[in-house]
Amino acid sequence: MTARDLSFIHRYVPPRDESAAPTLLVLHGTGGDENNLLNLGHALAPNAGLLSPRGKVLENGMPRFFRRLAEGVFDLDDLVARTHELADFVGSAASVYGFDPGNVIAVGLSNGANIAASLLLLRPRLLAGAVLFRPMLPLEPQQQPDLNGVPVFAAAGRFDPLVRPEDTERLVTMLRDAGADVTLRWQDGGHALGGEEIEAARRWLAPYLDRDAAHASATN
């Protein structure tokens, strides 16, 4: 299998330090593409590898990762199918590019955050952690996943016109009930992403990156 055989248009940026860094699965919002959040990924983890797919669904010409029927109303059948398709893509990409499939951390914004949350709920062993900007509960799984100890950072706006605070809180509650270690950060703003919360996410993520580096040093 080669990069051309993978099922998503995507970008892959190798890590600067292959012995220590995780791979960030970078997931754009509605209207973004595979290039849209690469700078965000570098800002959060400069040494990490980046895997950034483009959503396959088009809404008025804008890429998304799954269909919605209206604002905040998702096509659940499509969401489930797209979630498993994305999870399978990550596994295939790990084989092609040689990164550790057990050390993948999702970084998602809006629609990207929602499909990352869906990955946590439907394919809980796929991700080693997640950074979710402007997420909401995408679906309620038939079975509670086992997310024991999985670290998750969620950032939301109290005055977001697209994501109600209670929708973010429902997701956080479900993740915590499944055992995830969730940090929730609120900011007094809307849907746009601010520099302060990017910095907060970088600081939150740093200990997990340092832990990976220490483990790599101990085993080399």
pLDDT one-digit tens code per residue, 171-186: 999 999 999 999 999 9
What amino acid positions are annotated as catalytic residues? 110, 160, 191
What CATH number does the domain located at 3-219 have? Answer: 3.40.50.1820
Check residue 2 and give its pLDDT. 79
Model pLDDT for residues 189-211, shown as the tens digit of each residue: 999 999 999 999 999 999 988 65
Check residue 220 and give its pLDDT. 43
pTM of the shown model: 0.93
* Tokens read off for 171: 């997701």
Residue type, 188: D
The bridge status of strand 10-13 relative to strand 23-27 is unpaired
Q: Which residues of the chain have pLDDT under 70?
A: 18-20, 210-220
DSSP letters, the chain, are --GGGSSS-EEEE--S-TTT--EEEEE--TT--TTTTHHHHHHH-TTSEEEEEPPSEEETTEEESS-EEETTEE-HHHHHHHHHHHHHHHHHHHHHH---TTSEEEEEETHHHHHHHHHHHHSTTS-SEEEEES-------SS----TT-EEEEEEETT-SSS-HHHHHHHHHHHHHTT-EEEEEEESS-SS--HHHHHHHHHHHHHHHHHHHHHHHHH-
